[in-house]
Chains A and B, each alone.
Chain A
């Protein structure tokens, strides 16, 4: 469905020196600085996948999304949507893609939501019957019916994002790109949005690529994660695989009746407080059940619990390892 090949993007920005001297100098000589935002990305996304595209601030996510949607021309490399090059065959490909930027709306401020939709219906030449059907589906998932008569400028952020989502789906694109769609939304709106993504993926088979800094989004939506940093791919795989690879351990929390704590050759004690001990162990070396039974054989146990490496922990590790150069 989407093929990204050896993608690079360099921004060229005019560099202005500090203070008055720098400003004056900039008038005569334009010092250019090159920012390497995306550095050789290569990946493939299959039809019907939901892919979470994550990375720290400034890692090149939005830049990549813009190149994948044909808004930005890559410095080199190519993006193929359904085998067609987005820069060379943009006019054909645009009918197959929809985009929502959480940070800025694509709806017309001055129009009522319904007018914006009608405008898109004309632009994409959507048949009236099909349009009404799609709108009904969107309404059933997002509940946008009561928003239709509202001018976009009067909408709250959550309402506007819903409007943007519905607008992006009107022409039934095969691929939906979402750049931080949940930014600034409350719990309820986030929930509605996740439900929306899951449902269009299930009902319409829409391929979804989303960037987010929200761990809940990642956990609930993304079967597959692509983690980038400094424009370079760090990890690509499904969540549990990545967890397995970069944090192949668990933590066993044991509460004893007194403060004399036993150790175990295959587990490392990472903290002791009062009578509670945390043992970190490799899944490959010992199972949790074996560890518990070994420990209870030496000393009576009051309570146990198992902690997986948290997703935020995983991401933190992924962001910091393998980083070749600093920001």
Chain B
């Protein structure tokens, strides 16, 4: 019993993790998809760069690292919270869960964390391995970048999860949520510099994107990883990242109150 209050969430996390480990088919499919995207992007960058160096010191070589790490990160940004919100609203379990001494969204978060642990073992390592063998071993720019990379990765995951939760709550009034979820997933990858780093976008566009939360999901940790930004710049952007976490957390909190209230007035 680590802590009485957390104990139930740890247990939920555990059973979700065990269950995720048994879904083999999904795992292979995901690894295959990610590998194809990864390899295609790598070829694209190789053809584009042809041993030239980009303005901010980015080489074809570091773009390979970027590509492999981006594929690896996309595994870590997998969330189930949107779908769980949808299901529990449809089945009405969101209402019955409320007569239990447990936070419904806490359950969803614990499940996502459990799933994440399984994903790291089952998907992340194979993808890193495939990337290392076929493209390049993705080495971090310097050892001193590790703490910053890890720190910003955590903030990235927070932003990603909060966005998913907010989106899931907002979408539960929409008709076809599945389509919306797909659109959101790909939009995030595009706007977050996962596929094309935003320094390739026109200045006006990248200025706008820098204000949105998306770039703080993929681009920032990846920039830290390949060393394509100065320390000053990284600090400044991590601060913005933190601000986004706080803003989204507040929005999430208000929205979840509203959704639960609505469920309780309308009847599950």
Contacts and interface: CB of A to CB of B under 8 A. Distances in A.
Nearest to A118: B11
Interface in A69-112: 69-73, 90-91, 94-95, 97, 99, 101, 104, 106, 110-111
B15 interface: yes
A122 interface: yes
Interface size class of A (residues with CB under 8 A): 20 to 34
A102 to B, nearest CB: 13
B265 A123 contact: no
A195 to B, nearest CB: 25
A118 B265 CA distance: 31
B98 A71 contact: yes
Interface string A268-304: 0000000000000000000000000000000000000
Give the dominant DSSP class at B's interface: helix
A122 B7 contact: yes
B93 A115 contact: no
B7 A71 contact: no
Contacts of B15: 111, 115, 119
A106 B96 contact: yes
Interface in B162-201: none
A72 B261 CA distance: 9
Contacts, number: 63
Contacts of A43: none
Interface stretch (B52-60, B99-107, B228-236): B99-107
A124 interface: yes
Given A63-B267, A66-B267, A123 B99 contact: no
A125 interface: yes
Give the top 8 A-B pairs by smallest Cβ distance, nearest first. Answer: A122-B11, A122-B8, A73-B264, A71-B95, A123-B8, A123-B102, A69-B99, A94-B99
30 contacts: A11-B267, A12-B266, A63-B267, A69-B99, A70-B98, A71-B95, A71-B96, A71-B99, A71-B264, A72-B264, A73-B261, A73-B264, A73-B265, A90-B99, A94-B100, A95-B101, A97-B99, A101-B96, A104-B92, A106-B93, A106-B96, A110-B19, A115-B15, A118-B11, A119-B8, A119-B15, A122-B7, A122-B8, A122-B12, A125-B7
Interface of B: 4, 7-8, 11-12, 15, 19, 91-93, 95-96, 98-102, 261, 264-268
